[in-house]
Structure 1
Amino acid sequence: MTELLKADTAGISRAADLLRQGKLVAFGTETVYGLGALASSDTAVARIFAAKGRPRFNPLINHLPDAESAFAQADLSGRTGEMARALAEKFWPGPLTLVMPRGENATVSDLAAAGLPTLALRVPRGKTALALLREVGAPVAAPSANRSGTVSPSDAFHVLRSLEGRIDAILDSGPCSVGVESTVLDLTRETPVLLRPGGVTLEELTALCGTIHHPDDFAEILPSSPGRLASHYAPSLPVRLDATSIEGNEAQLAFGKPLPGAALTWNLSESSNLEEAAARLFAGLRFLDAEGARRGLTRIAAQTVPRQGLGLAIRDRLRRAAEPRPPSDPS
């Protein structure tokens, strides 16, 4: 049963408490309603993908109550920091998401970042959203609060119609004032790149930043843009998919009952739970890559994951990890 909470002191407190427990809470911003989860928890973030039926682990936007707490998650060295501060001063709180290099002390989970060395950060506008984020006291990952592939929700009724019974609560702050998603601007290159148009216009950004590129301006495809790169998140060791046996030179990425004979195994979920598997995927790939190489293993063999629910997203990421890495990929 999904709780419908009023946007008063008690409702905001209840919503913050649920988020800190790892639950899912939809809340309104000036753009659309977001489906919030504690960004530092892989398990909580995995529940977002399960609730939305999202087919890929795309990077999620992480929401914070002010620029100071947002920038604490990022590496602001050089030109990136200068431009980020100028943009934040003009457009935050507001419908602008900045993609920046991940900071050393970042608390956002690998799953929320989709395994990338970058983070998407935003300070939303709206009294209720900011009060909620201040009370949570940690980054909140929040894509739009709707089933994947359906229209983004601009009021609590839209969320309830799409996700009732699949999430824990909705904090009803009324209709959204903007009604379209935030603009996403990538600051990880010498010239900023507009990854998604939205509530802040290209003209407004250009007036402050000067030249802004579009992803199509590049021969290679930007790794920080959700789902655009075939060889995303590839470990250094090659990955073999749908393994039914283990060879002597392989580390094993297991799901359910492990295959016999592996010298090194990371089990995504011994109980074959897809939410648990999603939460453990990136950590498992990193572990097998580093420890496998240290032990002289030359490949990762991944057991079959079901083609249903979150299994589709897990399989998508494993397929990308198994793709040959193009020479132009800087990740």
Structure 2
Amino acid sequence: MIKRFISKMSNVLETKILKVDPASIHFPEDAHLNGSLPTITDPISEKNLLEAAKIIRGNLEPVAFPTETVYGLGGSSLSDEAVKSIYRAKNRPSDNPLITHVSSIDQLNRKIYQEKHSSLFQNIPNSYHPLISKLWPGPLTILLPVPLKTSALSKLTTADQPTFAVRIPSNPIARALIALSDTPIAAPSANASTRPSPTMASHVYHDLKGRIPLILDGGPCKVGVESTVVDGLSKPPLLLRPGGFTYEQIVELGGQDWKDCRVERRKVVAEGEQVRTPGMKYKHYAPSAKVILLVPKPQRTDSDRIEELKRLISQELQNEDANTIKKLAILTSLHLGATEIQDLTVGDSKIKPIVVKLGNTGEEIQANLFAALRQVDEIDNVNLIFVEGISEDREGLAIMNRLRKAAGDHCVSF
């Protein structure tokens, strides 16, 4: 049964934002393996981290914190009540599984498998070893089998499935929070369900003010899209969600087991079907404004694209909802130049859109994407957003995955 854990109005919380300096946190080189604790040179950062860790250990409310990908909303993976509080704060369907974040492989073994390990990697299949040896800590999530007898994981974390998703984040604030609480943390993105993911503390506050007690502010996230999720339990292995590491990196670094890795490309899943990773079901990443994704055709010139953009704007202004379009924004990437579209003549009308440049490389575009969507939607209050897409290789696979979900059916070639 799908459940939504709805917050009661009487449960409005005071949401504090506490600063943490990531540069003050220092882990030993092998801490992601053996669980060594960090040293923290800034007393205020340490105090704020310990306050957040205490909330995590209390198993009642989640806290928001930065990762290298996006801000996460975290609670104990071992507690039904903590996981319910995450679903409740986000108003997230309970059949949408959560990724568990650990600070070390030692913590994975002790806390989830509840074993004293004879071999550090005994609970991680061999197929993953080449990847995690190079990409952990980092934005890589793997699927592992839920242990049949000894697992301490809440079934609400896994949506009652036989596998669970886990990663070790590289952001020092995230790692320190998990290590200091000594608690595996279930953490989806710290946004209201269906909204664009948050890459700054202010985004979290906009969506979740009054729903959570605490946000750790560690500045903007560097990667800007969620982690890459892979399934090395299947043959051939499968990339379930593109993200912070590219498909090309997975194939290159994964060794022989990953040379035939497939990509999950279904746009929708069947009603009632269980999904193994977040992002495969339900609406995601969508602003309040209508989003139209411009999918570039390789053979077109940039001048052709500008003319097509004008035609699309004219079409939108003439449709039955035209009177609702007061302001529009255009997010550009590699082809549309800001000067050419700053002033557009569409029919007899002069159009002055809000123009935001996403970047000149795949890394820049993915880092800026969610912040730009939120800027034009929540601060500029536009009604219509055109986003220029890019080719679906390397970072483009994750970028276009997010943009297709944000746009829904509104994808056009240009």
- Give the deviation of 1:215 after TM superposition: 3.3
Per-residue deviation, residues 83-131 of structure 1 (Å, max 9, x unmatched): 2222211101100100111124322200011000111001001111111
Picking from 18, 36, 57, the partner of 1:5 is 18
Aligned partner of residue 57 in structure 1, secondary structure: coil
Contact residue 97 and residue 122 of structure 1 kept, 8 A: yes
The equivalent of 1:52 in structure 2 is 90
Per-residue deviation, residues 261-284 of structure 1 (Å, max 9, x unmatched): xxxxxxxxxxxxxxxxxxxxxxxx
Contact residue 5 and residue 172 of structure 1 kept, 8 A: yes
The equivalent of 2:146 in structure 1 is 102
Taking the aligned partners of 1:225 and 1:17, their CA distance within structure 2 comes to: 28
- Give the deviation of 1:191 after TM superposition: 1.9
Q: How does 1:81-92 map to 2 (within 5 A)?
A: 81-92=125-136
User: Are 1:204 and 2:232 counterparts?
Assistant: no
Aligned partner of residue 194 in structure 2, secondary structure: coil
Per-residue deviation, residues 207-232 of structure 1 (Å, max 9, x unmatched): 12211123359x99775245869xxx
Taking the aligned partners of 1:228 and 1:125, their CA distance within structure 2 comes to: 24
In structure 2, runs of 5+ residues without a counterpart are 1-13, 21-44, 116-120, 282-414
Contact residue 222 and residue 228 of structure 1 kept, 8 A: no
Per-residue deviation, residues 164-221 of structure 1 (Å, max 9, x unmatched): 100111011111110100001012212211110000100010112211123359x997
Taking the aligned partners of 1:224 and 1:55, their CA distance within structure 2 comes to: 14
Contact residue 241 and residue 279 of structure 2 kept, 8 A: no
Contact residue 52 and residue 177 of structure 2 kept, 8 A: yes
The equivalent of 1:239 in structure 2 is none
The equivalent of 1:68 in structure 2 is 106
Taking the aligned partners of 1:53 and 1:14, their CA distance within structure 2 comes to: 25
Contact residue 102 and residue 117 of structure 1 kept, 8 A: yes
Taking the aligned partners of 1:118 and 1:32, their CA distance within structure 2 comes to: 23
The equivalent of 1:136 in structure 2 is 181
Contact residue 165 and residue 277 of structure 2 kept, 8 A: no
Aligned partner of residue 111 in structure 1, secondary structure: helix
The equivalent of 2:326 in structure 1 is none
Contact residue 96 and residue 182 of structure 1 kept, 8 A: yes
Per-residue deviation, residues 146-168 of structure 1 (Å, max 9, x unmatched): 00111100011110111010011
Structure with max Cα Rg = 2
The equivalent of 1:187 in structure 2 is 232
The equivalent of 1:215 in structure 2 is 264
Bigger RCO (CA 8 Å, 6+ sep): 1
In structure 1, runs of 5+ residues without a counterpart are 230-331
The equivalent of 1:40 in structure 2 is 78
Aligned partner of residue 45 in structure 1, secondary structure: helix
Contact residue 71 and residue 189 of structure 2 kept, 8 A: yes
Taking the aligned partners of 2:46 and 2:146, their CA distance within structure 1 comes to: 33
The equivalent of 2:67 in structure 1 is 29
Alignment TM-score, normalising by the size of structure 1: 0.64
Contact residue 96 and residue 275 of structure 2 kept, 8 A: no
Q: How does 1:141-152 map to 2 (within 5 A)?
A: 141-152=186-197
User: Are 1:113 and 2:126 counterparts?
Assistant: no
Alignment TM-score, normalising by the size of structure 2: 0.51
Contact residue 189 and residue 198 of structure 2 kept, 8 A: yes
Letter in 2 for 1:154: T
Aligned partner of residue 154 in structure 1, secondary structure: coil
The equivalent of 1:16 in structure 2 is 53
Aligned partner of residue 112 in structure 1, secondary structure: helix
Aligned partner of residue 95 in structure 2, secondary structure: coil
26-35 vs 66-75, greater mean Cα deviation: 66-75
